[in-house]
A and B are shown apart, each in its own frame.
Chain A
Amino acid sequence: MSAVTPSAAEQGSAPGVGSGGTGSEAPPPADPSQDRWGRLVQDIARGNLLVVVASFVFAFIIGSILILIADTEVREALGYFFARPGDTFSAAWQSISQAYAAMFRGAVFDFPGFTRTLESLRADGGTGTYVWGPALMRGLRPLTETLTIATPLVIAACGMAVGFRAGLFNIGGTGQLIVGAMVAGYVGFTFQLPIVIHLLVALVVGVIAGAFWGGIAGFLKARFGANEVISTIMLNWIATYLLFFALKTSAFTGANQSQPTSPSVKDTASLPLLLGSQFRLHAGILLAIAVVVFLWWLMNRSTLGFQFRAVGSNPRAARVAGISPARASFAVMAVAGALVGLAGAVHILGTEKRLTDGIAGSLGFDAITVALLGRSGPVGIVLAGLLFAGLSTGGRYMETQQGVPLDLVSVIQALVVLFIAAPPLVRTLIGLRRVDNPGAGERRRRARATSGAGEDRTGATRNGGSSVVSTSSAATSQAPSFSGSSAAPDPAEPPGSAERSGARTETKGEDR
């Protein structure tokens, strides 16, 4: 390990690194442009982007297999596969392409709707913006729906991220969301207040309720050392049954007590619509953006956030520095609960309007996966939130159009998160090990052939090894709570590096 000295300058000029897996004899390639391209290929290969893309591809491939298994036509065609194999393939292609096309149509852009509106308006004699405007509105309707769904998801994921960054696994998103939505909804449909104040009061009580519910778990953790994973899960169920009970009382159901649904939130308390009454997109999205900025400020600029991160990365060191881990864990859970409670409030005041027994749906658990996929960072959460929202709106459309169960979406989402969490697996699957550690096999073979290794070759190997180590440790420091031991991410021991052990065996081989 002592031979490895990660440094940026060395990495940049490391001979053999930029050769892009060609494994040539001469360490520095003669052509500088080829070197640059090689390095680019490597950057892409090592960077997260390719892993992310490949993760999606694999997840969708597995999703396609599931679609095929579920599709009766494909199974029927498979029955006479050897007689007419073409039928199977065409049926398979039909079913997969139609399912994913429906998903896209439901999530991003409704092209058939767009052209239909365009043609009908043209037929009526419309021109210019009179045609394009409504047609585009029609086409982009799914996208606004995706944004609407993404709004509470992103807010809740920000709450989850606070916990993850502080090393606390808040699984209680569902409970905090339910409590926030319950209280905010109750204020929204019961009280009579002036227009802006009503909304603000409803949002604030939602936040307080969420903070309280999260705070219970935080208190139990701080005072009694209760495992937050267990206690938040139990609180989820308690909140769920509390909601069921509330929806049987006259205070929540209003006049019609037989239906487990509350009256609609009053107009004074609902979040204003942004694109007119045809679209569900509401001002909550602005709140979501504000929350994302708040998350960035909290975790990166504020003292409280520093304490959270310190406790998350090394509780013992934090205690030595004068931060009380117990108090911090209570604060973390309260802040996380507050944000998730806000998500619940936004969900009911903006999107749902009525409190039902399925108000939280899978939002709480989706928020966890979004936060994980977004690596608990603001930008990542926004992207992941949009993606998950798109998948679920598209999935719902796919279910109605193609009869593919919506559960496919949660399978795909889970697979994406799993794949992204294990970059080495993805790299192995797409055969990128070579690019990752260029010419490793070649050098090992050479080392075996000439047991007394030359000075220059050893240097090349060491440099190659060092660059791998530094990139993997950089990736770890980007996502401290994501891979490896969250309790104590030690910079000297970047976890999850199969490459690193490869590099190490290589060095051993050279030393022999």
Chain B
Amino acid sequence: MSATTRLASDDAVVQKAVVDERPSTWWHLPLTTTILGVLGLIFFGLRGIPGASSTYGIAREKDLNPLGILPEQVTVPSMAASIVLAVIALLASAALWALQSRPHRLRPAIRNTLVGIFAVAWVLSFMTWVISERSLSVGTLLQSTVILAVPLAFGALSGVLSERAGVINIAIEGQLLFGAFGAALVGSLLGNVWAGLIAAPLVAVLMGALLALFAVGYQVQQIIVGVVLNVFAVGITSFFFGSVMSANPGMFNSPMRLPTLRIPLLADIPLIGSALFEQNILVYLMWVIVVVLTIALFRTRWGLRVRAVGEHPRAADTVGIKVNPTRWSNVLLGSAVAGLGGAMLTIGTGVAFGEDMSAGKGYIALAAMILGRYHPVGALLAALTFAFADSLQLRLGTMSAAEGGVSIPGDFLLMLPYVVALFAVAGVVGRVRVPAADGIPYVKQ
């Protein structure tokens, strides 16, 4: 008898230890998703417009659509569909409650799947509500998502490159701006859009050189350098825009566009065809660079060295890795990559350079990098998420408000990407591990 009680108490101790293993913040995620889900259910579903219907454009006429498997349009009753989707989101949230409250840790894969289900259902619920009495072409939405993701992804990759080596890169905004400026200026001067494409990374490297000079060479606080360099970049490009470029726009700043490279057949796949296979070279370069960087950072000697420099520069120095040269080269490489993203803003979309045209994209790229956990693939996914919010905002902003439909003030739509970024950073960033030596200048001893 006494033995069993002792056993029971032992079990209690073990049980307690297991309970302690659960992080104290386990309820954050389920609670947030539940609140969002309930809000979605109320506003998108129950308070939607009765009798309205939402239309999604799926397959286009010219698309590859054997035997008409995919319908051209899908029309659903707005209210019912929103309610169903919101309930699905709430079910995912409930599953999170059930699984997260268990004493032992939830496997990340399961958690991410649930969060993914929640996010997709919630967003679809929102979209179904907001396009009541209107129609939205999904293919076009995805295509513009990819286009808008390019500057963000390149910017975030620039951040990954320099922060993995231990240099905080707030100057992404400036690098994008320099890239856009260089592409427009050189392309226009030489009358050749490819020259602009080559010039963009080279001009952006100037920005990276300044960042490296002050942050690595002179060990100035890196966030300060970044912020000030952004001011500098906006100032100097606007100065040239206001003086030289606007005096003779035909010579210095004429809009030109990279040709769209359409891959036959693949581009005709419904929904994703035009998004993935009917883009300009920068989009294809984005995929390539993400893959190359992922392999280079995590599978090569160079990558190991870079990460060593970012995590423990002294140890890296001890085994003979040159810390500051590595940081220099990574910052320069990163800024060149960001310059390509800047090129997307001008020659990639066929517009002339404009004052402060990066408009905060560099900072969103920064958020994408942190959200992507300093990993190229994660950064790309985060960039795509933000770009989706931006693209949705643009689509909804240009759609004329239908009779009896939902109308959200345009300013709230413009706010959307930033609100998403804020929530994402707050919700996810707590679990992100920053490279240990990020932002700390290295002084050799």
Contacts and interface: CB of A to CB of B under 8 A. Distances in A.
A317 interface: no
Contact of A415 (B232, B411, B441): B232
Contacts of A495: 219, 441, 443
Interface in B209-252: 210, 213-214, 217-221, 223-225, 227-229, 231-232, 234-236, 238-240, 242-244, 247
B51 interface: no
B219 A484 contact: yes
Interface residues on A, range: 35 or more
A333 to B, nearest CB: 14
B239 A405 contact: yes
B170 interface: yes
B441 to A, nearest CB: 6
Nearest to A482: B221
Contact of B426 (A69, A226, A241, A418): A226
Contact of A418 (B28, B228, B247, B418): B228
Nearest to B223: A169
B421 interface: yes
Contacts of B234: 407, 410
Contacts of A169: 223, 227
Nearest to B416: A241
Interface string B282-321: 0000000000000000000000000000000000000000
Interface in B141-172: 170
Nearest to B366: A230
A413 B422 CA distance: 30
A237 B214 contact: no
B360 interface: yes
Contacts of B221: 421, 481-486
Contact of A235 (B218, B236, B366, B422): B422
B347 interface: no
A286 interface: no
A421 B360 contact: no
B439 interface: yes
Interface string A392-414: 00000000000011011111011
Contacts of A242: 411, 415
A253 to B, nearest CB: 14
A40 interface: no
A227 B411 contact: no
A402 B24 CA distance: 63
Contacts of B228: 369, 372, 414, 417-418, 421
A64 B3 CA distance: 90
B427 interface: yes
Contacts of B240: 69-70
Given A225-B430, A242-B415, 6 more contacts: A233-B366, A404-B243, A422-B218, A424-B218, A483-B220, A484-B219
29 contacts: A220-B425, A220-B426, A224-B429, A229-B223, A230-B370, A230-B429, A231-B426, A237-B415, A237-B418, A244-B411, A244-B414, A248-B409, A369-B227, A405-B243, A407-B234, A407-B239, A413-B231, A414-B232, A418-B229, A421-B214, A422-B214, A422-B218, A425-B213, A425-B214, A425-B217, A482-B224, A483-B220, A484-B219, A495-B443
